[in-house]
Amino acid sequence: MRELINGAQAIVRGAIHSGCNFFAGYPITPATDILLYMIRELPKVGGIAIQAEDEIASMGFCIGAAMTGKRVMTATSGPGISLYSENIGLAIMGEVPMVIVDVQRMGPATGGATSVAQGDIQFLRWGTSGGYPVIVLSPTSVAECYSLTCKAFDLAELFRIPVFLATDKETALTISTVDAEMFEKVPVRERQIASAQADFVPYRATAPDEVPVFSPYGGAHILRFTTSTHDEHGQLTKSPEKVRKLNERLAAKVETHLDEIAMVKTDMQPGAETLIISYGVTTKSVEEAITAARERGRQVSSLTIHSLWPVPEKEIKSALSGVRKVIVPELNLGQYSLEVERLATNGIEVVGIHRVDGELISPEEILEQGGLK
Amino acid sequence: MSDQAVTTYLDETLLPYFFCPGCGHGMITDHLNAALVKLQLDPHKVVIVTDIGCSGLADKYFTTNAFHGLHGRSVTYATGIKLANPELKVIVLMGDGGCGIGGHHLINAARRNIGVTVIVFNNFNYGMTGGEHSVTTPLGGFTTSTPFGQLEYPMDICQTVAVNGASFVARTTSFDKGLSDLLGEAIRNDGFSLVDIWELCTAYYVPNNRYSKSMLEHTLTSLNFSTGVIHQATRAEYSRAYRQSVADEAGKAAVAFRPILPKYRSDLDRRVGIIIAGAAGKKINSAATLFCRGAILSGLWATQRNDYPVTVKSGHSVSEIILAPKEIGFSGITKPEVMLLLFKEGSLTVHSQLAAMNEEDTLIINNDILPDQTTAKLIPIDFNQTGRWASKKEYWTIIALSKLLSEIQIYPLEAFKEAVGERSEFAEDNLAAIEAGEKLR
């Protein structure tokens, strides 16, 4: 059974199937479709969806709602992520589980509202003060818009952190034929709620990478939330020991759990000395290029990265083994290739293929510029 | 909550307050506590949301829930909390600084009449960062960032929210003996409440201006700013109004899978790229989607990539359609097998794709458009000869697609007819347009 659907609809379906029950957003091309679908669909499942007065308020509403126990999502594009920035930091600090969709368009600034790009890939990782980690997933197809949205909600619950879905104008708005079986069901865990009987301390962690147990506003326990550096009670502190513990834990809870986050797909050809690493919309071109190259007798492997941040270093290093040349096609001037470059030691040549003109990188361009003709 | 009355909502182990000697913040905090004691609210059902600034230190003393957020954004967190759980009493404590940077949120919270109570600790300057001027600094007031006197007129916070839909608005000073009653009244109000409380900043505004209680009262009168309850209105509270407005939606099937079941047969054995080069507002995209549905009804796979400027009714509109007997990967088209060149706006954006076409490809072209040099097989359409359709340009795409299916074996025209008949109030006209396309010579 097939249907005709775009990525935005698949994201909304994924969100609702994941139990999302609160959405706030502000209109911005090319993410508006998600806002409009959410406003129509969420009330059907008893959820709340609202257009806020701006992107800052969208994040504020979501964060407030998340702390009452709602499963929240917002969606925007690059200029909106700029405005989300301060609250991304707050969500990291207060350990707010939430999903943020970035439907990337061409930058900088207002850039090209209706043009595709992958220019936010480093920005999403480093887009707020302090440099603390977030999780970024990137779907390569409409079907993955569904499954990775579900995964994003699951990881948000597991780590109490903002999880980004980095998609783009083409993936979100190109209408595609999708078979029902292609929508991969991803289980989303329930939020762990402190029992009414237990002692509850809002930010207590017994291990250096532990995620504190949650209790919602209006629940059995009193909850203190703060944007400031705090002790386990959620009270402001400057105690170096407590501050260090908190800050190291905010990083460790993600970075020491890479195995629970890393998602890649490999298509390795034994003996191939060329590897193509891609993510998001560019992957479709890579797949076609690989097929064409192999038909011509070329040996080439590919690695698709679904979890961009934290960088799945183990998986990338493993794919790089035995490789002499790695090709990284991206709709930017070379962003994720920076991560590949730092991992591609032993003289591996890193070749970036870039487009920043609002057009897609075609399979033909990958074959040509990658020396696979 | 136990049956015993709550005698205080303050954690007395944390007292005395951390505020400067003589600062009004402690007085306001005491009055808020007294108001809560009078109201006997369950501390689990109260959330005190604070902004940045000295007033943001106040939440720590309360035994209720607390949320200390970013500068100016406290009203947005409060709105999210209230929207998500209308049972909660949500109280925002913010300074005049927060009212400046977050003024936009204040206005919109008032417009919604969202059920939060905003208590403004208004001391005319930024106490936490060193005594800079704020939106409420009186004219001529000396602050560290207005060493030559304030030139900007003070914002009337109360009137700002009152004219924008707030349902309870009051102004007073921290010296008001009845402040706790006033705060209680504000908290009891179901919708958006704001109490603007004028007070002294003994660290900065008082020494920098030789300011005093009597001067504060003089500022109030000289500005003609009234005190007491300034405005009250009866309006539906937003979090409940929202629930009421969507009540009929509950239980409807959300994000349902809407399969398109194949009923027709296509012998297409390769991937075909079709570009429709048109103009915005001429239903290019919707016609293309119907065409794709027809393809799926015929057992094919389809993708449709749209390109358009930010304007909706002017400029180009181009749809790139790929049809194939199997799943489609890359959804771009560098060399189309078919192009429908229907409007000159679209023709301007497809030059390179048109140039890539050769004698095996087909160009269906509006007679009024002069094609670039092309070797593609030309099928001209004279829309002026289409009778009633000549002036109905929004049906030209359907006509041209019908012509395409009549000329080239892609999928049965009947499937296209079924696709356009399935939905929308335009079904009848779309069907008639397909028939017009079929009859074209």
| Residue A285 domain flag | yes
Q: Taking 60 as the threshold, does the pLDDT of residue B60 lie above it?
A: yes
For residue B220, pLDDT beyond 70: yes
pLDDT digits (tens, 9 = 90+) for B82-101: 999 999 999 999 999 999 99
Kindly report the CA angle at A5 between A4 and A7, in degrees rounded to 5?
150
For domain B12-245, the CATH class is: alpha beta
Domain ranges of chain B: 12-245, 272-439
Provide block-wise average pLDDT over 10 residues at a time, chain A (373 residues): 96 98 98 98 98 98 98 98 98 98 96 95 97 98 98 98 98 96 94 93 96 97 97 96 98 98 97 97 97 96 98 98 97 98 95 96 96 91
Whether residue A59 sits in one domain with residue A152: yes
The CATH number assigned to the domain holding A309 equals 3.40.50.920
Q: Are residues A53 and A158 in the same domain?
A: yes
Q: What is the pLDDT of residue B277?
A: 96
Separation in Å, CA of B313 to nearest CA in chain A = 15
Tell me, yes or no, whether A305 and A172 share the same domain.
no
Pair (A36, A126) in one structural domain:
yes
Chain B hits for A48, Cβ within 8 Å: 83-84, 242
Count other C-beta atoms under 10 Å from residue A36's C-beta. Answer: 16
pLDDT tens, residue by residue, B123-138: 999 999 999 999 999 9
Question: What pLDDT, on the 0 to 100 scale, is given for residue B347?
Answer: 86
Alpha-helical regions (H) of B3-156: 25-39, 74-84, 96-101, 103-112
Decide if B167 touches A, using CB distance below 8 A.
no
**Residue ranges making up the domain that contains A101:** 2-182
**Residue that terminates a domain, selected from A157, A182, A207:** A182
- The H or E element containing residue B407 is helix B396-407
Write down the pLDDT at residue B223. Answer: 96
pLDDT at A149: 98
Whether the predicted pLDDT of B1 surpasses 70: no
Helices (runs of H) and strands (runs of E) counted in chain B:
15, 15
Digit-coded pLDDT (tens) for B16-57: 999 999 999 999 999 999 999 999 999 999 999 999 999 999
- Give the other-Cβ count within 10 Å of A113's Cβ: 16
Same structural domain for residues A41 and A165?
A: yes
- A39: closest CA among A23, A26, A28, A62? A23
pLDDT at A118: 98
Number of helices (H), then strands (E), in chain A: 13, 16
Mean pLDDT of B299-317: 90
Measure in Å the smallest separation between the Cα of B220 and chain A Cα atoms. Answer: 32
The answer to whether B265 touches B299, Cβ cutoff 8 Å, is: yes
Are A10 and A121 within one domain? yes
Domain edge (last residue) among A182, A203, A218: A182
- Give the other-Cβ count within 10 Å of B74's Cβ: 32
Which residue, chain included where needed, has tokens 């960032």?
B145
Q: Select the residue of A43, A228, A284 nearest B329 (Cβ to Cβ).
A: A284
* Residue A205 placed within a domain: no
DSSP state of A212: P
**Is residue A248 one of the residues assigned to a domain?**
no
- Tell me what the mean pLDDT of segment B3-16 comes to: 94
ipTM of predicted complex: 0.97
Residue B310 has pLDDT above 90, yes or no: no
Kindly tell me the burial class for residue B30, based on how many C-beta atoms sit within 10 Å of its own C-beta (0-12, 13-18, 19 or more): middle
Give the closest of A16, A114, A359 to B255, CB-based. A16
Please name which of A58, A74, A84 lies closest in space to residue A20, comparing C-alpha atoms: A74
Please report the pLDDT score of residue B2 as a whole number.
Answer: 56
Domain end among A132, A149, A182 = A182
pLDDT of residue B165: 98
Assigned CATH topology for domain B272-439: Pyruvate-ferredoxin Oxidoreductase; domain 3 (3.40.920)
**CB pair distance less than 8 Å for B257 and A3:** yes
Per the CB < 8 A criterion, the answer to whether A351 and A326 are in contact is yes
CATH value at residue A100: 3.40.50.970
Segment B390-439, tens digit of pLDDT: 999 999 999 999 999 999 999 999 999 999 988 778 899 999 999 999 99
Burial class (CB in 10 A: 0-12, 13-18, 19+), A302: buried
Domain count, chain A: 2
Closest-CA residue of chain A to B298 = A2
Alpha-carbon dihedral sign for residues A86, A88, A92, A94: positive
Nearest-angstrom CA–CA distance, A154 and A261: 10
Place of tokens 């005395």: B16
Position B373 pLDDT exceeds 90? no
The Cα-based distances of B67 to A191, A270, B80, B117 in angstroms read 20, 56, 12, 14
Mutate to test the interface with A, among B11, B48, B77 (most CBs of A within 10 A): B77
| Cβ partners under 8 Å of residue B323, min gap 6 | B268, B271, B272, B274, B292, B295, B300, B301, B302, B410, B411
Rg from Cα positions in chain A: 21
Hey, are the CB atoms on A114 and B301 less than 8 Å from each other?
A: no
Separation in Å, CA A8 to CA A46, A169, A279, B257, B261: 20, 9, 18, 14, 22
**pTM score > 0.80 for this model?**
yes
CB A220 within 8 A of CB A199: no
> For a pLDDT cut of 90, what percent of chain B falls above it?
92
